[in-house]
Structure 1
Amino acid sequence: MVPRLTVLSCLFLTSSAQLLHLTPGRILGFDYETKKGPYAEVFLNIPYASAPVGELRFEKPIPPKPWKDIRDGTKFGSSCYPVTPDAVVPPEQPSEDCLTLNLIRPKKEAPSPGFPILFWVHGGGYEFGSAIAYGYKGLADIYIPRDIIVVTIQYRLGVYGFFSTGDSRMPGNLGLFDMAEALKFIHTNAESFGGDPSRITVWGHSAGSAAVGQLILSPVTRDYIPRSIEMSGSTWASFAQGAAVANYSLELAQVELFLKWAAVIDGEFLQHPDEMTAAAPPKVSLIGLTNKEAALFTIKRVAPFMHKFGVDPSDYPNWNRDRLIAELKKIVQRVYSGNHLEQVMKEIIDYYVNREEVKEFEFYINRYTEFLSDLLFVVPTVEGLLARRDAGWDIYAYSLEHYNDATWNKDVPKKLRGPAHGCEFPYTKGTHFVENIQEGEANAEEQVITEVFQQSFIEFVKIGAPSNDHEVWLDVGTDANIRYLLITPNPQMKQGFCNESTAFWHRIREYGFDMVQLLPTQKSSMELKEEL
């Protein structure tokens, strides 16, 4: 048998083999020629922590064990276990030994003090997903020619990463501590791979975006991070603050399948985001939404193991006023814990249902999608934006209203289509994140959207302010009408970022319960009137 070290050493004779010296040991990578010509050096499956197995299962991560031989970094490692086998997307192969990261760097001498670092955190509701799903080619094609290092990480999911008893026995947030360990690993080893540890931008989408908000605010990690890119997910969302996680954890022995895991306010990694914002030094964040977020779940019906929001095409004709009201009631009754359910339902029906007298089913399905978008993404995003802006942060906002029609199934009615959750991915990563979405053909409109996103993100990572060749991107400003970049083939700065929906849900708080964060509020205005 030929020794492993000898086999790997032979690879050094080829021009495509690269060796990286890190704190725990050496790792073998390879060259990748980007579409624009410059080469990237790619290193996959780098352990940033010891395998969380045996005595380390359900414990905070610890540094990786040093290795003596040259480690093979030419293939992706295992993904972390999702909540259900249905969430595994080939070529993912889940394992508990999954705390690895991937590093893509320019194949050139680094300037002093190093290349800026873009640190990607995948989404998936804290329940599924992997770094493998995003590959390395698209990221290298976009960011390597602009001299940016890209890091993608994996972290424990579901019960392995977010099990909590709600007390000191098992406080939870292990997945967040995994992210923190990866961040510290990159910070410690930055000089070894030509990175500038003072220019780390954490970047995420959906639950990954909520996690990024938690990383930049938490006392555990905030000193490592000067700026963030947060796409379609907020720390202020209910799914990012798992108030019910302890209940799910304690019921684990009685149920076969559990589909609700999230970060929890543990007093160590996390406090309420308002409290963390008040304590954190001001940073810089780029925050954005798409115009039809929840369509990924209602119309495209992605990740049905996580939710029951999907609308079957055979059921489209059955959607009318009564059906929409019934579906809204079903959700509100499940999450509302105040004393004024009847009044709250009346307000919601007036706002989402009684806008127009129409008969077409598309109107009612779109209002259902809008309701879910507002609750899960829009309002929490605006709340987080305002909290940080008012604390002195520099914030830039966008709303994507363009979509590529080729990314939709031809059987979906035109009026139901739109820019769904994740539709920025082709422009920001060069890839889609669900395999059943087909990439549309490039055209002049797509080229503009691509340039706006890529140029803006690249400049933000480099200098902390987005800019592009199509429109000057200003920060959100200081007044109530938030400034934002409306991203279309004719991008424009606008004012009034999600004003209507945010104002509506703030008014609903007056009934004593915040349905966005699923938390009780102070006494409602109605209760105060009754006392008077």
Structure 2
Amino acid sequence: MVNMSYFLAAIFFLVCDFLFKEMKQILPEIFYGQNLISDPVVETIYGSVEGFNYKMESGDNAEIFLGIPFAAPPIEKLRYEKPQEVQKWNETLKAKEFPAACATFDTFMSHQENEDCLYLNIFKPKNHTSNGYPILFFVYGGGFLIGDTKTYGYKNISDNLVSQGIIVVTIQYRLGPFGFFSTGDSRLPGNYGLWDSIEALKFVNKIIDKFNGDKSRITIAGTSAGSAIVSLLGLSEEGYNLFSQILPMSGSAFSQWGSKNAVVEVTNEVVDEIGCESNSTKIKECLKEKSVSEFQKVLKPKVLFTLRDDISLLSIGPKMDGDFIKVNCLKKATKNAPKRPIFIGVCSQESIMSTTPNPFFPLPNKYFNLPIEKIKIYSKSDFEDFVRVILAKEKYFGNNSEEFVKEVTEFYANQTNDENSDFNFFFEQYTTLISDLNFNIPALREAILKAENKNPTYFYVYDYNVDISDTAPKLARGLSHGGDIINLFGGLYKPIELNESGKKVQKKFINLIANFIKNGNLFIKF
């Protein structure tokens, strides 16, 4: 009887030991995120921050911190002022939800908006390294009018970049009238969204070591309007000691839309219509009293993302002000700036988004976002008409306007014409012309100037097509604006589906970006 009791007890303990070992394996899988793995807490000079864990596809863990304030809320008296340093907090900050998007004149997104929006997010590897991780500081795009960090999420960023030993920081900046309105003088100098980006960089430099980051290895990157912002950051004396590398993706300060004075005209028009006199010395004080809805009511029918008689497409954005960029010449600013590696690039057919039907450009007309019926019959005379009306304006070329029309038309008409193509040749050339003017030539100009001034310079063209037909119908060959960032961060508005070749190209591109962030070069095996 005693022997049987010992036998049963032994069996019981063996079973318990087996179950305990099995449960140790499966409990984290079942209950991951429910505090069996404790939520990470980081102590910073501003206060403690509590995030949460995310198990990446690699099997490793990432620590996610969402909605960390990097500046005082830019509301009330701080509207239309440079960002102020954030105040310290006493209680542990629960950094577990994305911040609301910055308020603007309109949005195509359903995310919540708020003027109190100067927050950033940090995604980091859980494992500690003695040398500190390199940092990617990312600025979203959206024509300086829309955008937020929630759109990009944290899962794809973690799976693609954090898994490779990179800390990723995504920031928000003021948009539209609150970020870029300017009267062109000291009354309302503008560029507040740029100053927000600088303040975020300063904040990251102060606290990133507590997240196991190496502040001497910060790469600033952006897409579209965010790309133009980081391009400008690379030229501003304010950012000389705040980062080490630049990664502009599909946008440049050298684009006409990247730094122009059209915002002054729009500002003055809106100021008068909203009930503040544009010639008043108290213009800033008056605008601070207006509600967000009052701005939206005036702005929505006025700009709606684009000026239709202007090739640059955007009417609100940064401008040369003699403050953020001290000199009034980008070429001179490039010469003066520190020598830093730059990896700049474009998609192969950026402007498909502005020549085809597109929900983000909801006002098709004779010259932009053409209807499908027109695209199919687009002719050489249509191309000439576009050049004549939009580009060869008499105020620019005087009596030489027609000669300019002829030379431009001949250049693009003499490109190789694939007779067997399913695409309209002159429509594709028209799309290429707009891509050249808004993206390709400015990016090349920036790259050439950087190289001439001894900056290690790399350039890419992303040509592998990705199905983003919700925003860019397949009416011309090539990859549309935003295709590169979709490959890097995953589908922003819908999942992208890639075949095996597409997955290989995507992986190579991600590895190129990761290698540049970590090592400052692009040496990988293809």
TM-score, L = length of structure 2: 0.81
Structure 1: distance between partners of 2:228 and 2:394:
20
Structure 1: distance between partners of 2:411 and 2:440:
16
- Alignment match, 2:44: 22
Structure 2: distance between partners of 1:300 and 1:224:
41
Q: Mark the CA change 1:185 to 1:305 in structure 2 (over 3 Å): closer, same or farther.
A: farther
Q: Mark the CA change 1:367 to 1:27 in structure 2 (over 3 Å): closer, same or farther.
A: same
- Alignment match, 2:338: 281
Task: In structure 2, give the amino acid aligned to 1:127.
Answer: L
Question: In the TM superposition, what is the alpha-carbon distance from 1:286 to its structure 2 partner?
Answer: 0.5
Structure 2: distance between partners of 1:206 and 1:14:
41
Q: Write the mapping of 1:476-495 to structure 2, written as runs, cut at 5 A.
A: none
- Alignment match, 2:232: 214
Structure 2: distance between partners of 1:268 and 1:458:
33
- Alignment match, 1:82: 104
Structure 1: distance between partners of 2:254 and 2:149:
24
Aligned length: 450
Structure of larger gyration radius: 2
Superposed CA offset, 1:434-463 (max 9, x none): x2x5512331x1132122211111111111
Structure 1: distance between partners of 2:239 and 2:45:
20
Among residues 108, 117, 124, which one is paired with 2:127 in the alignment?
108
Deviation above 3 Å: which 4+ runs of structure 1?
11-14, 305-308, 333-336, 353-361, 406-413
| Contact kept in structure 2, 1:131 and 1:152, CA below 8 Å | yes
3-state secondary structure, aligned to 1:251: helix
Q: Specify every segment of 5 or more residues in structure 1 that has no aligned partner in the other structure, as ranges.
A: 1-10, 471-532
Q: What's the C-alpha RMSD, in Å, of the aligned pairs?
A: 2.4
Question: In the TM superposition, what is the alpha-carbon distance from 1:225 to its structure 2 partner?
Answer: 1.4
Residue 458 (str. 1) matches residue 476 (str. 2): no
3-state secondary structure, aligned to 2:98: coil
- Alignment match, 1:473: none
Among residues 383, 386, 389, which one is paired with 2:445 in the alignment?
383
Q: Mark the CA change 1:341 to 1:57 in structure 2 (over 3 Å): closer, same or farther.
A: same
Q: Mark the CA change 1:300 to 1:397 in structure 2 (over 3 Å): closer, same or farther.
A: farther
Larger RCO (CA within 8 A; separation ≥ 6): 2
- Alignment match, 2:255: 237
Residue 419 (str. 1) matches residue 476 (str. 2): no
Residue 315 (str. 1) matches residue 374 (str. 2): yes
Q: Write the mapping of 1:439-478 to structure 2, written as runs, cut at 5 A.
A: 439-443=496-500, 445-470=501-526
Among residues 128, 133, 147, which one is paired with 2:146 in the alignment?
128
- Alignment match, 2:135: 117
- Alignment match, 1:486: none
Question: In the TM superposition, what is the alpha-carbon distance from 1:14 to its structure 2 partner?
Answer: 4.5
Structure 1: distance between partners of 2:209 and 2:90:
21
Q: Specify every segment of 5 or more residues in structure 2 that has no aligned partner in the other structure, as ranges.
A: 1-32, 274-297, 306-314
TM-score, L = length of structure 1: 0.80
Q: Write the mapping of 1:88-167 to structure 2, written as runs, cut at 5 A.
A: 88-90=108-110, 92-112=111-131, 114-167=132-185
Superposed CA offset, 1:180-200 (max 9, x none): 000000001111111101000
| Contact kept in structure 2, 1:217 and 1:277, CA below 8 Å | yes
Structure 2: distance between partners of 1:214 and 1:136:
26
Structure 2: distance between partners of 1:424 and 1:107:
27
Superposed CA offset, 1:221-261 (max 9, x none): 12111111111111111011122221111111336433411
- Alignment match, 1:295: 352
Question: In the TM superposition, what is the alpha-carbon distance from 1:360 to its structure 2 partner?
Answer: 8.0
Q: Percent identity?
A: 31
Q: Write the mapping of 1:282-431 to structure 2, written as runs, cut at 5 A.
A: 282-299=339-356, 301-304=358-361, 309-333=368-392, 337-339=396-398, 340-353=400-413, 355=415, 362-404=424-466, 406-408=467-469, 412=473, 416-429=476-489, 431=490
3-state secondary structure, aligned to 1:192: helix
3-state secondary structure, aligned to 1:225: coil
| Contact kept in structure 1, 2:359 and 2:471, CA below 8 Å | no
Question: In the TM superposition, what is the alpha-carbon distance from 1:330 to its structure 2 partner?
Answer: 2.8
Q: Mark the CA change 1:457 to 1:336 in structure 2 (over 3 Å): closer, same or farther.
A: farther
Q: Mark the CA change 1:199 to 1:335 in structure 2 (over 3 Å): closer, same or farther.
A: farther
Structure 1: distance between partners of 2:243 and 2:227:
14
Q: Mark the CA change 1:23 to 1:420 in structure 2 (over 3 Å): closer, same or farther.
A: same
Task: In structure 2, give the amino acid aligned to 1:330.
Answer: V
Structure 2: distance between partners of 1:360 and 1:138:
35
